[in-house]
Chains A and B, each alone.
Chain A
Amino acid sequence: METLGFLIDGFGVALAPHNLMFGLMGAFLGTLIGALPGLGPANGVAILIPLAFTLGLAPETALIMLTAVYAGAMYGGRISSILLNIPGDEPAMMTCLDGYPMAQQGKAAEALAISAVASFMGSLIATIGLILLAPLLADFALTFGPAEYFALFLLAFATLGGITGKNPMKTVVAACLGLMISTVGIDNTGVQRFTFGVLELYEGVDFILAIVGLFAISELLFFIEEKAGGGKEKMSVNKLELSWADIRGIMPSSIRGGILGFIAGVLPGAGASLGSFIGYTLEKKVVGKKGYFGKGDPRGVAGPEAGNNGASSGALVPMLTLGVPGSGTTAVLLALLISLNITPGPLMFTQNADMVWGVIAALLIGNFLLLVLNIPLVGIFVKLLSVPPMYLLPIVTMIAFVGIYSISNTTFDLYFMVAFGIAGYILRKLEIPLVPIILGLLLGPEMEKNLRHALDIADGDWTILWNSGLAVGLWVFAALGLILPYIVGPILRRRMRAAEAAAGSEGD
């Protein structure tokens, strides 16, 4: 099998000593980032991108390190869900339902260990799924013409809010803003657009500083507003007493959760939150009366946690094969690819095969590393939870400043980053999602290029954009992505809230 050969080559790349070292470092940093309050995975990866550049890492090393950070952050997110009942990010919400009650019953160590094993299973399943599915999808994507790509980008934007998204119109607004910013600079016919004669704008707006500003700086401002600087009280973790029978007990739940999560991750518009939600409800249905969900059932920790991690690996499939990310964090990884001068998409599988497979192999290895890292070192990560944000966030801000400054050594970029941060804060207040802005910035140039190609081929005939069956299909799905949230969204959201409320009242 061809894939197997590539994968073995990939292991060759990923197991090279320095790659392995940076992978391990990334996994550790990622777990840290996931565990620390106020630093989500997208945020963490964003701050580390400039540092990866200043380190002068080789492209595959940088990519391996940041993929490990991504995987690690997903592991770390569960720690605060279980110990503090605060989900580190949205997908970890479902882990709170049974994880926190377990911690209250003095079984925090077991809950953490179980969730680590479940995360491992979820990621493992999804990575295998990625290995099987990605080459097929990449081959299929080779048949796409410019018109299909244009429609595909629209689909990506339309489904970004997800079925559970609140107001799809705000996603459209955000996408437009991002695309508009991406048109600043000299275009490929040599015309200056929206540069206002400012020299620094000729090359366009660097998306890295937009990302760091929108995510990291706006987070600082949000913490100040919520006066959440004090941090949480220290949690103690009991000594781990976990038997093999316990692990066997959660295996079926983890496997089911992982498969479901992977599917939810691959599908546009579903995302990790829906993955863990479905994982949890399915577990409840399958186990039925024998379970005690909401009161600290280990299977209620395993199912959603596997689903959440499965979805995050699944989300890499569209990002790697089509160049179209489905979530905030994969968008940030896409930013990394673009700034490494690698065009993501089907061609990457042929032109940069060693890198793609190196990253996939690194995901597999990273999973084992994370499992090994997580069970004995959990004490360290737990201690970090009590680092008060009032010290942490200013330091994170400083690291963002250093990172951006060290790329270009100009203060102009820093002002830009601060401006993006303040804008990000205001937009979040208005409930305008930030991820479509980032995606617009990233995909804008490609999207315009494809539009131009398509129209040039057809000599200005706009109907070319929906001239093939495939393109029409993509348009239909894009339209559904915008319409469905109005119909299905309220129902799903109500159910998720109901599940949460029910578990909350039972748990207390």
Chain B
Amino acid sequence: MTFNDRIFGILLLVLAVAYGWGASQFPEPFGGAEAIGPETFPYLLAAVLGLSSLYLIVRPDPDNAWPWSRTGVELLIAMVVLVFYAALLEPLGFIVSTALAVGTLCWRMGAAPLRAFATGAISGVVVFLLFSYALDLSLPLGLLSFLEVS
């Protein structure tokens, strides 16, 4: 099967065209156009990417299997956890969000739930203390801000 490379090649070709078109829309730099402007290098890149994506479409490599079914779900869970970790870092605070994110990841990777969340909580607290006291950098406390001493 050679679908991966062909589909990816088509996507890249679209990207190359869009990128090249985007470059053609740049306003003329202040002081008038010169022999080489902000769009020259992008034009080159668009051309090279276009040609190499054509090559991928014409001569694709054999596919690597995508993980469907359960592993795929696990992967999606991990991706969602990462996005939520980024989103909740500030509102929930570093320690709570780390305990949840690291805990969930450990758990989904096969650790026993209790040990997984314990690992998450301990690593969150340790890194937080390390950052606040040893490195003097503040990480958000969020929900736990009532613990703030200073």
Nearest to A213 among chain B residues (CB) is B82
Beta-carbon contact of B52 and A183 below 8 Å: no
The answer, yes or no, to whether A4 is at the interface (CB within 8 Å) is no
Which residues of the partner chain B approach A411 to less than 8 Å between Cβ atoms?
86-87, 89-90
Which residues of the partner chain A approach B110 to less than 8 Å between Cβ atoms?
227, 229-230, 390
Q: How far is the CB of A445 from chain B (nearest CB, A)?
A: 10
Tell me the interface secondary structure of chain A in the complex: helix
Beta-carbon contact of B29 and A191 below 8 Å: yes
Beta-carbon contact of B83 and A398 below 8 Å: no
- Tell which of A223, A394, A451, A455 has the most Cβ of chain B within 10 Å: A394
Beta-carbon contact of A173 and B53 below 8 Å: yes
Beta-carbon contact of A183 and B42 below 8 Å: yes
The interface on chain A, measured as residues whose beta carbon lies within 8 A of the other chain's beta carbons, has a size of 62
- Given contacts A191-B27, A431-B61, A451-B40, are A220 and B131 in contact (CB under 8 A)? no
Give Cα distance in the complex from A224 to B74, angstroms: 7
- Given contacts A227-B110, A414-B86, A418-B83, are A189 and B37 in contact (CB under 8 A)? yes
Contact with B along A226-256 (1 / 0, CB 8 A): 0101100000000000000000000000000
Give Cα distance in the complex from A80 to B83, angstroms: 32
The answer, yes or no, to whether B111 is at the interface (CB within 8 Å) is yes
Give Cα distance in the complex from A172 to B53, angstroms: 9
Contact with A along B31-54 (1 / 0, CB 8 A): 000111110111011001100110
Question: Which of the 9-residue segments A285-293, A374-382, A401-409 touches chain B?
Answer: A401-409
Nearest to A404 among chain B residues (CB) is B86
Nearest to A399 among chain B residues (CB) is B127
- Given contacts A176-B45, A448-B41, are A224 and B71 in contact (CB under 8 A)? yes
The answer, yes or no, to whether A131 is at the interface (CB within 8 Å) is no
Beta-carbon contact of B131 and A406 below 8 Å: yes
Q: Which of A180, A415, A451 is in CB contact (< 8 Å) with B36?
A: A451
Give Cα distance in the complex from A18 to B131, angstroms: 20
Which residues of the partner chain A approach B26 to less than 8 Å between Cβ atoms?
191, 193
The answer, yes or no, to whether A395 is at the interface (CB within 8 Å) is yes
Beta-carbon contact of B41 and A183 below 8 Å: yes
Q: How far is the CB of B71 from chain A (nearest CB, A)?
A: 6
Beta-carbon contact of A176 and B109 below 8 Å: no
Tell me the interface secondary structure of chain B in the complex: helix
Give Cα distance in the complex from A455 to B79, angstroms: 45
B88-112 interface (Cβ within 8 A of A): 89-90, 94, 98, 101-102, 105-106, 108-111
Beta-carbon contact of B109 and A455 below 8 Å: no
- Given contacts A225-B71, A394-B105, are A430 and B86 in contact (CB under 8 A)? no
Beta-carbon contact of A390 and B36 below 8 Å: no
Q: Which of B42, B64, B82, B108 is in CB contact (< 8 Å) with A418?
A: B82
- Given contacts A224-B108, A429-B66, are A398 and B127 in contact (CB under 8 A)? yes
Beta-carbon contact of B78 and A224 below 8 Å: yes
Q: Which of A169, A402, A421, A429 is in CB contact (< 8 Å) with B55?
A: A169
Beta-carbon contact of B22 and A194 below 8 Å: yes
Q: Which of A389, A393, A460 is in CB contact (< 8 Å) with B35?
A: A460
Beta-carbon contact of A405 and B139 below 8 Å: yes
Give Cα distance in the complex from A190 to B31, angstroms: 11
Which residues of the partner chain A approach B101 to less than 8 Å between Cβ atoms?
394, 397-398
- Tell which of A55, A224, A225, A456 has the most Cβ of chain B within 10 Å: A224
Nearest to B12 among chain A residues (CB) is A173
Which residues of the partner chain B approach A224 to less than 8 Å between Cβ atoms?
71, 74-75, 78, 108-109
The answer, yes or no, to whether A467 is at the interface (CB within 8 Å) is no
Beta-carbon contact of A397 and B105 below 8 Å: yes
Beta-carbon contact of A422 and B45 below 8 Å: no
Which residues of the partner chain A approach B86 to less than 8 Å between Cβ atoms?
401, 411, 414-415, 417-418
Which residues of the partner chain A approach B30 to less than 8 Å between Cβ atoms?
189-190
Give Cα distance in the complex from A447 to B83, angstroms: 34
Q: How far is the CB of A409 from chain B (nearest CB, A)?
A: 9
Beta-carbon contact of A393 and B109 below 8 Å: yes
Give Cα distance in the complex from A417 to B79, angstroms: 12
- Given contacts A414-B89, A418-B83, are A398 and B123 in contact (CB under 8 A)? yes
Give Cα distance in the complex from A173 to B48, angstroms: 8
Beta-carbon contact of B71 and A397 below 8 Å: no
Which residues of the partner chain A approach B79 to less than 8 Å between Cβ atoms?
221, 418, 422
Give Cα distance in the complex from A425 to B35, angstroms: 40
Give Cα distance in the complex from A191 to B25, angstroms: 11
A-B contact pairs, 6 of them (CB 8 A): A180-B42, A398-B98, A398-B127, A399-B127, A406-B139, A448-B41
With A224-B74, A224-B78, A429-B66 given, can you name 17 additional A-B contacts, CB distance below 8 Å?
A169-B56, A170-B61, A176-B49, A189-B38, A221-B79, A224-B71, A224-B108, A224-B109, A229-B110, A394-B102, A394-B106, A395-B102, A431-B61, A448-B41, A451-B40, A456-B35, A456-B36
The 7 A-B pairs with the shortest beta carbon distances in the complex, nearest first, are A460-B35, A414-B86, A229-B109, A390-B109, A394-B105, A176-B49, A189-B29
